[in-house]
């Protein structure tokens, strides 16, 4: 069987959520099914590290897709020609987009419908594209995979898609995340926080991540606790950050906030492992991978009580209302003062994280891919 895969987000040193999903699942699937041919379709020169096995055949389908007009051209003009040339049996696209002009069966991965619920967090041109084409993509795809029951129910509710067409394919947590030693933790603290303990947020800095409220909550924490605790934000500056940067520029505790920008995975493992707690106040998530990565590292988690987070973290996290920065501050103070609670969350979190693996994700995605071929 010939399996074509949209790999345009496999970007060397720039991997983020969807890119990691593609990397982790298809590194497993390509090796697990050597009898099948996998064509990885890139939109620009690729790195050899993403060619996971001998049955992976990379193809560059120019040109780089960095704008909605180019998305449309790439998926509806360029991709169908390639699929026809390689005689693809199925096309897998994990970025929420698919081709509307090919007859090849498609398995579409939609991680969430964040653009519907948090439109202000998106570039206007991107939002318009998602809003117009997402219902068309969902209808065109033979099968749809999504990363939580929350997201499945959201798709069904918003677009009236038949539930049996949607498969829940939970994200995994990478094996590279693990508890770190005291010496490693000390080295990270010396590097980033002058040896001080720190709360950590992981993820690109953009409005949906709710970091303005996190700064306000951290300010209350600092005033009331008189603590030397720092706040580390591990992630690149993404988009629509004017409000965040303006607040940070005049922020009383500016020197206590560390922006790492994008960090490579090995470094991120060490940062997560050294954190006092992960604080993840996102306004909308289809899954929330950093939550499980922290749990696997035996770091307690504080996160939003909305969207998918309680489905994923179960009773192993401390929840707050992400729209109420005072409530976030209360939970920061609670985890800081209650060492028994912190220890309990660590143990519960480690048990939850053990349920999730990329092998499980790959197996579930494979079922969805096979279903797309069978129903065509």
Domain residue spans in the chain?
2-172+358-374, 182-353
pTM, full prediction:
0.90
- CATH fold, domain 182-353, is Rossmann fold (3.40.50)
d(CA 300, CA 129) in angstroms, rounded, equals 38
- Asked if domains 2-172+358-374 and 182-353 share a fold, the reply is yes
**Residue 25: pLDDT over 90:** yes
Residues 6+ apart with CB under 8 A from 303: 278, 279, 280, 281, 282, 288, 291, 309, 313, 317, 318, 319, 320
Structure confidence by residue, pLDDT tens digits, 334-364: 999 999 999 999 999 999 999 999 999 999 9
Both tokens assigned to 305? 């009580």
Tell me the three state secondary structure of residue 289: helix
First and final C-alpha spacing in the chain: 14
Give percent above pLDDT 90 in the chain: 86
Q: What is the DSSP letter of 201?
A: E
| Measured CA distances, 217 to 252, 283, 316 (Å) | 13, 15, 22
Within 8 A by CB and 6+ apart from 316, the residues are 295, 301, 345, 348, 349, 351, 352
How many C-beta atoms lie closer than 10 Å to residue 139's C-beta?
13
For the four alpha carbons of 190, 193, 196 and 201, in that order, the dihedral sign comes to negative
Residue of higher predicted confidence among 278 and 261: 278
CA atoms of 100 and 87, how far apart (whole Å): 17
Q: Which of 25-39, 319-333, 362-376 has the lowest mean pLDDT?
A: 362-376
pLDDT digit string, tens, across residues 177-205? 999 999 999 999 999 999 999 999 998 88
| Neighbour-count burial of 181, counting CB atoms closer than 10 A to its CB (0-12 exposed, 13-18 middle, 19+ buried) | exposed
Superfamily (CATH H level) for 2-172+358-374? Glycogen Phosphorylase B; (3.40.50.2000)
147 and 169 Cβ atoms separated by less than 8 Å: yes
Q: What is the pLDDT of residues 43-66, one digit of tens each?
A: 999 999 999 999 999 999 998 888
């Amino acid at each position: 069987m010939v399996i074509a895969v949209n790999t345009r987000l496999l970007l060397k040193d720039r991997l983020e959520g969807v890119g990691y999903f593609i990397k982790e699942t298809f590194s497993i699937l390509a090796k697990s099914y050597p009898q099948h041919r996998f064509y990885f379709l890139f939109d620009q020169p690729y790195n050899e590290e993403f060619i996971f096995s001998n049955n992976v055949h990379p193809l560059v389908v120019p040109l780089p897709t960095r704008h909605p007009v180019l998305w449309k051209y790439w998926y509806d003009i360029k991709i169908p020609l390639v699929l026809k040339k390689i005689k693809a049996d199925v096309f897998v696209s994990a970025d929420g987009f698919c081709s509307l002009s090919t007859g090849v069966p498609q398995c579409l991965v939609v991680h969430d419908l964040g653009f519907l619920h948090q439109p202000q967090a998106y570039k206007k041109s991107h939002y318009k594209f998602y809003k117009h084409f997402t219902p068309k993509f969902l209808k065109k795809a033979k099968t749809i995979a999504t990363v939580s029951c929350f997201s499945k129910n959201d798709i069904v509710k918003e677009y009236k898609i038949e539930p049996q067409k949607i498969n829940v394919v939970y994200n995994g947590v990478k094996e590279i995340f693990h508890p770190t030693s005291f010496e490693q933790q000390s080295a990270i603290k010396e590097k980033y926080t002058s040896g001080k303990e720190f709360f950590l947020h992981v993820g690109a800095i953009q409005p949906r991540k709710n970091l303005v409220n996190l700064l306000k909550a951290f300010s209350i924490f600092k005033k009331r606790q008189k603590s030397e605790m720092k706040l580390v934000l591990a992630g690149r500056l993404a988009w629509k950050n004017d409000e965040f940067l303006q607040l940070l520029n005049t922020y009383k505790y500016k020197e206590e906030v560390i922006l790492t920008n994008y960090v490579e995975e090995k470094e991120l493992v060490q940062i997560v492992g050294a954190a006092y707690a992960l604080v993840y106040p996102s306004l909308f998530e289809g899954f929330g991978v950093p939550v499980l990565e922290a749990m696997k590292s035996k770091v307690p988690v504080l996160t939003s009580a909305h969207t998918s987070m309680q489905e994923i973290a179960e009773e192993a996290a401390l929840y707050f209302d992400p729209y109420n920065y005072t409530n976030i501050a209360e939970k920061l103070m609670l985890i800081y003062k209650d060492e028994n609670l912190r220890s309990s969350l660590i143990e519960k979190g480690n048990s939850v994280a053990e349920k999730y693996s990329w092998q499980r994700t790959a197996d579930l995605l494979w079922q969805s891919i096979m279903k797309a071929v069978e129903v065509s």
